[in-house]
Amino acid sequence: MKFSYNWLGSLLEKPLPPAVELGDLITFHSAEIEELIDVAGDTVLDVKVLPDKSAWLMSHLGMAKEIAVITKNTLKTDPFSNPVTIPTDERIKVSLNSVTCDFYSAALITGVKVGPSPDWLKDRLVALGQRSINNIVDATNYVMFELGQPLHAFDADKLSHADGRHHIVVRDAKPGEKITTLTGEEYTLNPSDALIVDGGNDIPVGIAGVKGGAVAAVDAGTTNILLESAHFDRFAVRKTAKILKLQTDASKRYENGICRAIAPIALTRVIELILEVAGGVTEVITSVGDVSVERQPVTVTLNEINSLLGVSLTMSDVEDILSRFAYTYTTAGGSVTVTPPFERDDLVIAEDVVEEIGRIYGLGHIVSIPPTVGAVAEINVRHYYSEKIRETLMALGFSEVYTSSFRAKDVVKLENALATDKGYLRSSLVENLREVRTANIPHRDLLGLQAVKIFEIGTVFGVESEEFRVGVAVQTGTSYKAKVDDPLLEEVLTALATVLGVTPELISKAEGIAEFSLDALLPQLPAVTAYEPQAQLPKITYRPFSLYPAVSRDIAMWVPEAVTTQSVEEILAAEAGPLCVRLTHVDTFSKDGKTSLAFRLVFQSFDKTLTDEEVQGYMDTLYKTVANQGWEAR
């Protein structure tokens, strides 16, 4: 949520630390600051408020309280210091006919003058990225950002009022019932959605806890308003917001469990603000439902605090922090019992209090305790043998790939796939390996490979079962050729049988791809008592590769017998130009006192696809070099 630095400062007695410093204090003691944004005359702190604190920290008051505790400041006034009760006044009839609503308060204000908000109010909303609409709507939004309580204003004259009384009903939607929201979108509702309905004509005027309807919207001609400050069930609102894909500032606060005791306080506050910015007279205030909240005391021992955090606080340190929170607490023999304030739903178990104390004290005080060296209780056999298999395959030139667990079509279907070609779980590694093998064929020269040789060790899924498999794939030419490729695959299977001492039973072997179950193999393998030592690899830094095609050219020449392959390679490399990304010696034979040497060069640019002419230019340079050396190109 976005917080205005000026607004926060206005709620506290003493000045705030500078914004950057305040941001750090909040990050290290409360919640992560995602961004500090400079806006005209103010700084906005964008704070990632996580679910445990969302019931009370999604308001300037909540954040100001945190700042007061962290920086030893004091709130000017705490609107939550005393619960407010509003008696029922039958001049506005409220019927709560849905379990989604347990408290509804309303007020009728007549004679308001709708118009633009005063600058101070506009500035605060605009700083938070909100659009200023008019003084009435702005006032309801302002109080929501101030206290956390969603509010709504209806045009009272657009609601029916038989015998001079308005009638507000909260009821569940009828299947297929429709509503058009304030911003003009139409939604079709389900019985799990609760509605605010005009009791006079049963027409929906709002989606409970989510958004107001267009029917009774406040506009420039409005003179009488009916204000709503209610409490709706968090799970019901969450469900509605999810199903309708309509998450609003209001729904976010309800679904995070804002305390219902705030609703009457916020109604009182918004009335006061509307009278200030739009004038008018409060005719009726009423409420229906229960607003009482009872928080259970939580006891935690000093020992638990120190033992969980790894710190050594004294009881007086703990009491100092609790009194900064202004919590009601008692101490007795090394333990403290805290009664949370009504708006805090997140202090339920001892560990919750430990967190409060730890974060205010400062997690930076935690001292590391170095681990003790000791043997593992169990060896992971699958990891042990996976490593053995990797080593064996790598020694034969096979490289490891990780491929997607998803396929376009297979046995086990996902309910909510990301894309139609990822709708199923793979039941085998074979098809993925086939695709990856094909995709790598064009890169053989670039990578200096004669054949694409790959393997994967990964999970596959049956209807109920799930197992680790090993898949191996090989292909030398542009298509699979049994005569060339099968021996390479056989070589792998033989090597595995030798290393493991057991011949893996293949699930499939066709067209240069073989697969077997690692899980089925493991029970047949010797027991393991220790891991092999882990080889230290040289430091590797990945280098991005060009996405443009590589072009291969061969060059062959006769050189005198005394000339070494290496010296020729060096001369060619020096002249091949910066776009030659690989130079490989591919062939040697001798005849009549002369040696024939052949090399393959691969050219590739990071910026473009190379043309034949460009590559020929580089080759011409090389042919000239060869001629200048007195060698004979073939």
Partner 1 sequence: METPRGHKHPLSQVIAEINSIFAEIGFTFAEGPERELVAFNFDALNVPKDHPSRDMQDTFYLADKPDVVMRTHTSPVQVRHMKSHTPPIKMICPGKVFRNEATDATHEAQFFQIEGLMIDTDVSLGHMKGVLEYFFSRFFGGEVQVRFRPSFFPFVEPGVEVDMMIAPSPDNKLSGRWIEIMGAGMVHPNVLEASGIDSTKYQGFAFGMGMDRLAVLKYGIDDIRLMYNGDLRFTNQF
Q: Which of residues 457-486 bind partner 1 (CB under 8 A)?
A: 457-459, 461, 466
Q: Which is nearer to partner 1, 543 or 608 (CB)?
A: 543
Residue type present at position 532? E
Helix, strand or coil for residue 122?
A: helix
Q: How big is the site for partner 1, counted in residues (CB under 8 A)?
A: 106
Tracing tokens 């062959």 back to the chain, one arrives at: 556
Please, which residue, 425 or 615, has the CB nearer to partner 1?
Answer: 425
Q: How far is the CB of 435 from partner 1 (least distance, A)?
A: 8
Q: How far is the CB of 124 from partner 1 (least distance, A)?
A: 26
Only segment of 39-47, 92-100, 351-359, 501-509 that touches partner 1 (CB under 8 A): 351-359
36, 311, 495, 556: residue in contact with partner 1 (rule CB under 8 A): 311
Q: Residue 620's CB: how many other CB atoms inside 10 A?
A: 10
Shortest spacing between CB 48 and partner 1, in angstroms: 9
Residue 415 makes contact with partner 1 by CB under 8 A: yes
Q: Tell me which residues in 91-130 interact with partner 1 (CB under 8 A).
A: none
Cα–chain-centroid distance for residue 393?
37
Contacting partner 1 (CB under 8 A), which of 188, 404, 567, 588?
A: 404
Q: Is 268 left (phi over 0), alpha (psi -120 to 50) or beta?
A: alpha
With CB under 8 A as the contact rule, the residue among 40, 220, 332, 373 that binds partner 1 is: 373
Number of neighbours of residue 332 by Cβ within 10 angstroms: 8
Q: Rule CB under 8 A: is residue 393 a binding residue for partner 1?
A: yes
- By CB under 8 A, tell whether 557 contacts partner 1: no
Looking at the Cβ atoms of 83 and 310, the one nearer to partner 1 is 310
Per-residue mark of binding to partner 1, 504-543 (x: CB under 8 A): ---------------------------x-xx--x--xxxx
- Using CB under 8 A as the binding rule, the residues of this chain from 149 to 208 that contact partner 1 are none
User: Are the C-beta atoms of 129 and 2 separated by less than 8 Å?
Assistant: yes
* Beta-strand relationship, 399-400 and 452-461: parallel
Q: In DSSP terms, which residues pair with 188 in a beta bridge?
A: 178
Can you tell me the distance from the alpha carbon of 588 to that of 566, in angstroms, rounded to the nearest whole number?
12
Could you tell me the smallest distance in angstroms from the CB atom of residue 263 to partner 1?
Answer: 20
Q: Would you count residue 378 as binding partner 1 (CB under 8 A)?
A: yes
Q: Does 349 bind partner 1 (CB under 8 A)?
A: yes
CB neighbours of residue 158 within 10 Å: 19
Among 117-125, 180-188, 278-286, 349-357, the segment contacting partner 1 (CB under 8 A): 349-357
* Eight-state DSSP code of residue 142: H
Q: Tell me which DSSP letter residue 609 carries.
A: P
User: At closest approach, how far in Å is the CB of 52 from partner 1?
Assistant: 4
Q: How far is the CB of 20 from partner 1 (least distance, A)?
A: 15
Cα 26 to Cα 425: distance, rounded to the nearest angstrom: 43
C-alpha distances out from residue 571 to 3, 115, 413, Å:
66, 83, 58
What is the DSSP track for 555-594?
Answer: EEEEEETTS-HHHHHHHHHHHS-TTEEEEEEEEEEEETTE
Question: Closer CB to partner 1, residue 28 or residue 200?
Answer: 28
| Residues 230-269, interacting with partner 1 (CB under 8 A) | 235, 238-239, 255-256
Nearer to partner 1 (CB atom), residue 448 or residue 617 = 448
Q: Looking at beta carbons only, is 50 or 510 nearer to partner 1? A: 50
Strand partners of residue 489: none
Residue with tokens 């034949």: 612
Site for partner 1 in 428-457 (CB under 8 A): 432-433, 435-436, 439-440, 443, 446-450, 452-454, 456-457
Helices (H), 164-227: none
334: contact with partner 1 by CB under 8 A: no
Q: Which of 284, 528 has the CB closer to partner 1? A: 528
Residue 395 exposed, middle or buried by CB count within 10 Å (0-12, 13-18, 19+): exposed
CB closer to partner 1 out of 544 and 578: 544
Strands 506-510 and 466-475: unpaired
Site residues for partner 1, window 568-587 (CB under 8 A)? 584-586
**Rounded least distance, CB 358 to partner 1, Å:** 5
Contact window for partner 1 (CB under 8 A) among 167-175, 276-284, 302-310, 551-559: 302-310
Asked if residue 74 binds partner 1 (CB under 8 A), the reply is no
Nearer to partner 1, 296 or 372 (CB): 372
The rounded distance, in Å, linking the Cα atoms of 431 and 473 is 10
AA identity, residue 509 = K
Output the smallest distance, CB 427 to partner 1, in A: 12
Question: Crossing angle for the helix pair 60-71 and 315-325, nearest 10 degrees?
Answer: 150
Rg (CA), the chain: 37
Asked if 410 contacts 425 with a C-beta cutoff of 8 angstroms, the reply is yes
In the bound state with partner 1, the residue whose beta carbon lies nearer, of 162 and 408, is 408
Out of 220, 332, 376, 527, the only residue in the binding site for partner 1 (CB under 8 A) is 376
**Residue 396 engages partner 1 in binding (rule: CB under 8 A):** yes
Kindly tell me which of 167 and 426 has the beta carbon lying closer to partner 1: 426
Contact, 397 vs 453, CB < 8 A? yes
Of residues 7, 29, 172, 480, which one binds partner 1 by CB under 8 A?
29
Q: Give me 313's structure tokens.
A: 């606080």
Decide: is 417 part of the binding site for partner 1 (CB under 8 A). Answer: yes
Q: How far is the CB of 362 from partner 1 (least distance, A)?
A: 10
Which one of 416, 420, 529, 566 is in contact with partner 1 (CB under 8 A)?
416
Q: Which residues pair with 580 in a beta bridge?
A: 603
Sign of CA dihedral 355, 358, 362, 367: negative
Stretch in the footprint of partner 1 (CB under 8 A) among 46-54, 104-112, 134-142, 216-224? 46-54
Give the E-state strand segments of 162-262 in sequence order: 166-172, 178-180, 186-188, 194-198, 203-207, 211-212, 225-232
Q: Residue 234 corresponds to which tokens in the numbers above?
A: 């968090």
